[in-house]
Amino acid sequence: MVNLIEYEAATAEVKAVYDDIRATRQSDFINNFWKALASHPPTLARTWADVKQVMGPGAIDPLTKELIYIAVSVTNNCEYCIHSHTAGAVAKGMSREQFGELMAVVGVANQTNRLANGYRIPVDPRFADPLGAG
């Protein structure tokens, strides 16, 4: 349903994003996600800026960020994202045992989310302000 725009066929605007993806990832490979977004250059540039910022080094390590990304993608059933971020997690060192535990946590969280919502369970006062917002 969507054109996948290869580097050679791309405009200068798109090529600039592709170049930054390649430089950031230290790899020539551009995956289909970006080739598809290239059909709308402002979305390509903006989404890459988003992903580059949030998945980069920070207070949470890169492998953990991939696990979080997979958890969201499985909950939403995004086939593409499950595949691409599982590949990303494996590249960052995820073991099969870790993938198994990840699926287990995601499954149980989806279960308890519905139990909490179905029973309309009130938040415990001591959980009201866990971040100490005051």
Q: Rule CB under 8 A: which of 6-45 touch a copy of itself?
A: 29, 31-33, 36-37, 39-40, 42-43
The only residue of 22, 25, 68, 92 in contact with a copy of itself, by rule CB under 8 A: 68
Q: Give whichever of 19 and 39 is closer to a copy of itself, judged by the CB atom.
A: 39
- The minimum distance between CB 51 and a copy of itself, in angstroms, equals 6
For the bound state, the minimum distance from the C-beta of residue 92 to a copy of itself, rounded and expressed in Å, comes to: 12
CB of 23 vs a copy of itself, minimal distance in Å: 20
Q: Which stretch binds a copy of itself (CB under 8 A): 11-19, 20-28, 69-77?
A: 69-77
Among 1, 8, 23, 26, binds a copy of itself (CB under 8 A): 1
- Identify the residue among 9, 13, 54, 93 touching a copy of itself (CB under 8 A): 54
Using CA atoms, how far apart are residues 58 and 50, in angstroms rounded to an integer? 14
Task: Show the 3-state SS of the chain.
Answer: CCCCCCHHHCCHHHHHHHHHHHHHHCCCCCCHHHHHHCCCHHHHHHHHHHHHHHHCCCCCCHHHHHHHHHHHHHHHCCHHHHHHHHHHHHHCCCCHHHHHHHHHHHHHHHHHHHHHHHCCCCCCHHHCCCCCCC
